[in-house]
Amino acid sequence: SDDTPIGKTDEDNQEIETWGKIPEFDFPVQDHVALGKKLDLIDLEKGAKTAGFRGYYLKNAAAKLHFAVLFYAWQKIIEAGFTPMVPPTILREFALIGSGHFPFGKEDVYQIANPSRLASGEKSEGPEYLAGTAEPSLLAYFANTTLEEKDLPIMVAGWTPCYRSEAGSYGKDTQGIYRIHEFSKVEQVVLCQADNKISDSWLEKMKDISTGILQDFELPYRVVKVCTGDMGAGKRKMYDIETWMPSRKSYGETHSDSNLSDWQARRLNIFYRNKKGEKILVHALNNTVLASPRILIALLENNQQEDGSVVIPKVLRSLVGLDKITP
C-alpha cells in the first residue's frame, strides 16, 4: 500500500500506536522461566526430554490460564460476528500453496512421513503437512468457489493447534516458551470486495479486536506498521502487535495482521459475482486473535509481585478460578 514504509528488516518498521503503562518494579524482575519454575507452572526440562528442543509442559495454573486466554479470545471473536470453525490441521499441499506458505515458508512446515490412507487402503494423493496456523485451512474451505457480493464479507475464525519447525529461526529465542514448535491459536480470516478501502478498513477492524483483548488483559502493547522487506510474499499492508515483556526489556511480537489483497484468492480461485454479474477475485485478510502460550510470557512477567506471586487479570479470574498464583 502507499503508506507501507520502505525498508529491509524489522528495524525499519514504523510504530503507530502504543497503549498501557509499562510497569516499573522496585524488586528484581524474574523472567517467565524463573516464575514458571518457582510457581510450578512450566517444565522445560521434562518438555525437552519428551519432545526435544523447544519442548515444554504447562502445568497447574499455567494450563488453566492457557485455555482461559484462548477461550476469552474465542468468545470475543464470535461476539464480533465471526463464524467459528475447527478446521483441519493436516493439510494437502494445495492449501499451503494457495495461502502462500509454499514455496516461501516451506522450511518452517512439518511434512508428515507416513501420510494417511484412502478408504481403498491406497496412500493419499501427494504429501501432507502440519499447519502452522489456521489461515491456509480456513482459506482452502473457499477454494474454487464463486461467492455472491451480497454475502460478503465472509468472516471466519479457527481455533487450532499450530506446528512450526522454526528452521529459519535457528539460534533465536532459545530460552523459554517464546519460540516453540507447537502452540494454540485463534485466527481470523476475512474475504471481502476487491476494493482497497474496504479491505484496509477490515485490517483496522481486525487489529482493534486483538488490541481490545490486550486492553482487557491490561497488557501494555504497541502496533507497528510492517515495512516492505519484513512483510512476506503477497502482502499489501501489514501490522504487527507487540506486547511488553519485562524480561526482554522490550515488546515481543504476539499478533500479525495482514491484507493480502487478491493475491491468495488468485492462487485459490476464490471469486465473487458483483451486481453486474462479473466474476471478481475477493480480497483476503488474516489476523492473530490470540496465540498461547507466548501471551503467557507477558501475563506472568507484567503481573509478578514482590512476594513471588502473579496476579491474574480481572477478566480471566472466573475462567481460571483464581485471583492470584501463589508460591
**Dist CA 52 CA 26 (whole Å):** 37
Burial class (CB in 10 A: 0-12, 13-18, 19+), 1: middle
Q: Which of 99, 135, 137, 164 is catalytic?
A: 164
Q: Which of 124, 149, 253, 266 is catalytic?
A: 253
Of 304, 294, 297, the residue nearest 324 (C-alpha): 304
Q: Which of 256, 258, 261, 292 is catalytic?
A: 256
92 is catalytic: no
Q: Which of 1, 92, 166, 179 is catalytic?
A: 179
164 is catalytic: yes
Q: Considering Cα of 14, then 136, then 200, then 196, what sign does the dihedral take?
A: positive
Number of other residues whose CB lies within 10 A of the CB of residue 99 = 29
Residues facing 160 on adjacent strands = 185
218 is catalytic: no
SS (H, E, C) the chain: CCCCCCCCCHHHCEEEEEECCCCCCCCCCCCHHHHHHHCCCEEHHHHHHHHCCCCCEECHHHHHHHHHHHHHHHHHHHHCCCEEECCCCEEEHHHHHHHCCCCCCHHHCEECCCCCECCCCCECCCCEEECCCCHHHHHHCCCCEEEEHHHCCEEEEEEEEEECCCHHHCCCCCCCCCCCCEEEEEEEEEEECCCHHHHHHHHHHHHHHHHHHHHHCCCCEEEEECCHHHCCCCCCEEEEEEEEEHHHCEEEEEEEEEECCCHHHHHHCEEEECCCCCEEECEEEEEEEEEECHHHHHHHHHCECCCCCEECCHHHHHHHCCCEECC
**Dist CA 327 CA 325 (whole Å):** 7
253 is catalytic: yes
204 is catalytic: no
Which residues are marked as active site?
164, 179, 253, 256, 294
